[in-house]
Structure 1
Amino acid sequence: MDDILMEEELFGPILPIVTVDNFDDALEKVHSLEKPLAAYCFAHDKKIINRWVTEVSSGGMCINDTIMHISPETLPFGGVGESGIGAYHGKTSFQTFSHYKSVMDVGTPQFLLKKRSAPYSNDPANSAQFEWLLKQ
């Protein structure tokens, strides 16, 4: 873990292998570092795999293989934290590079004034001041 290669995010062809005594030690090591762009787990035990998937935050993940999670265009690819934000591939690319604009139409200004301003009453006698404001 002290090697200079472990100081920055790696992009192949180098894949460091770090040995640990048990799975909890592996999780502890992963959690001590920045969130990775990809996290790989090689295991047959479904409990180990499920823990890896639920307890490790990463941009992408591949179980019992490496890098193949970026191949299908139907799977989003991208990072979290230091490894980046957003994702791309297929429909996800369109969503990432699109801006969704929120528009709320609540009716006429009179509706807004009556519902949001004092005297908070449905009594028509109290709404005369709002009618005056609307005419200004």
Structure 2
Amino acid sequence: MANMLNEETISFGGEIDEATCYIAPTLLDNPPDLYSPVMQEEIFGPILPILTFETDQDIESVVSQYEKPLAFYVFSDNRAFSKGLIERFSFGGGVINDTLMHFGNEKLPFGGVGFSGMGNYHGKFGFDTFSHHKAIVNRKNWIDPPVRYAPYQGKLKWLKLFFKYFT
């Protein structure tokens, strides 16, 4: 992960201690190369690239170059703008005007879409993702009404009568 920082503009943090496998929380300001490792890989560490945009078209042109991200963070005072971005793009989890809060809340699902993974992994969502819910029908075999089987000609009135009184 430290190699991701080699050619990036660090605006905060960036301290690395290879002996202890430590990387300080690091902010990267407008990565110049959208094809650099930090922009091509999912970052499971304390590195956050910050991209600023002037127009919606700029955002669209950059975001559309990538697969669906695991996380999508929007910083804006404009509620309609933020909501529009959240609705327009597909991603695992999102936060407006903050980071990581979706990951730290066990009541929210966490997980990706597409290449970022499938399913949700937190609390009950994780239990449900890794559980198999079996559907079981236990039907009694003492009566098997012939109305269930073909030919169906002449059975419609019996079915209507049944559903009228038993549903």
TM class by shorter-chain length? 0.7 to 0.9
Of 120, 123, 142, the match for 1:87: 120
Q: Which amino acid aligns with 1:79?
A: G
Q: Which amino acid aligns with 1:49?
A: S
What residue is the counterpart of 2:66 in the other structure? 33
Normalising by structure 2, what TM-score?
A: 0.63
Query: What is the rounded CA distance, in whole Å, between the counterparts of 1:25 and 1:104 in structure 2?
Result: 54
**Where in structure 2 are the equivalents of 1:86-125 lying within 5 Å?**
86-104=119-137, 108=141, 110-111=144-145, 114-117=147-150, 119-122=151-154
Query: What is the rounded CA distance, in whole Å, between the counterparts of 1:54 and 1:48 in structure 2?
Result: 10
**1:70 equivalenced with 2:103 (yes/no):** yes
- C-alpha distance 101-40 of structure 1, shift in aligned 2 (>3 A): same
Query: What is the rounded CA distance, in whole Å, between the counterparts of 1:58 and 1:28 in structure 2?
Result: 16
Normalising by structure 1, what TM-score?
A: 0.75
How far off is 1:86 after superposition? 0.8
Q: Which structure's residues are more often strand, by fraction?
A: 2
What residue is the counterpart of 1:11 in the other structure? 44
Deviations along 1:21-66, whole A, 9 cap, x unmatched? Answer: 3123213321321111100000010111110221121111111111
- C-alpha distance 104-83 of structure 1, shift in aligned 2 (>3 A): same
Q: RCO greater where, 1 or 2, for CA within 8 Å and sep 6 or more?
A: 1
Percent pairwise identity: 43
Q: Which structure's residues are more often helix, by fraction?
A: 1
Gap runs ≥5 in structure 2: 1-33, 156-167
Q: How many residues get paired?
A: 121
Q: CA RMSD in A?
A: 2.2
What residue is the counterpart of 2:79 in the other structure? 46
Q: Which amino acid aligns with 1:51?
A: G
Does the aligned pair in 2 maintain the 1:27–1:56 contact within 8 Å? Answer: no
